[in-house]
Structure 1
Amino acid sequence: HNLLKNAAESISQHQRRHPLISIALSKEDDKAVLIVSDNGGSLTKSPSNVLSSSKPEGLGLGLLIVKAIAARHGGSFRLDVDDKRATACLTLPIPEDLNEK
């Protein structure tokens, strides 16, 4: 939810001529991979590589919480940012009983 909300806020806040949110879900071995990207360009990385938000009401904690939840469940979270788009990649293990299906 947080990743989609951030993408929607980003493209509406920056009023891109052609706003775009892409969502992809795939399976890689025994992991589910969710990729959400947008062309809003509202994220920046500080020199210490800590994410911050350009939203006035933003605390800058949302993505750190996503990363902590992913790690707690044996997964990972990565964010790639450039001047045109932000791409969030959330990877979570698929439980054995679901992986067999």
Structure 2
Amino acid sequence: MKRHSDPDSMEHVAGRVEALHDHFKESKEKMVGVTGQNPFGDIRHPDERPGEPHPSEHAVNALHGFRDRMHTQFDAAATLMNSTGGALREAARALRETDAAAADSVTVKDGSLD
């Protein structure tokens, strides 16, 4: 019987896919947005309208919103990588069980395996 995949290869790929989970988590942690002093400075409206945020605050808020959306994407990708790795491991287990069951139920009558 010719097979296009084997359990060992599937488990190897599962490990590589699951490693992507860690890479996504590490990348997420590196995306922090604006921390410390506002890099855009203390910019004010020309007419000093009271009660309105400074344009630099708008920029910081936009960057934080972007960061939050990207964190959500990184989390989703990491979860997907874990699920994919688990599915590959389950498929490898099923292949091994199928091979074991087939080996137990094969009867050779012509003596060709002797």
TM-score normalized with structure 1 length: 0.25
TM-score normalized with structure 2 length: 0.23
> Relative to total residues, which structure has the larger strand share, 1 or 2?
1
The structure showing larger relative contact order (alpha-carbon pairs under 8 Å, at least 6 residues apart) is 2
> Relative to total residues, which structure has the larger helix share, 1 or 2?
2
Larger radius of gyration between Structure 1 and Structure 2: 2
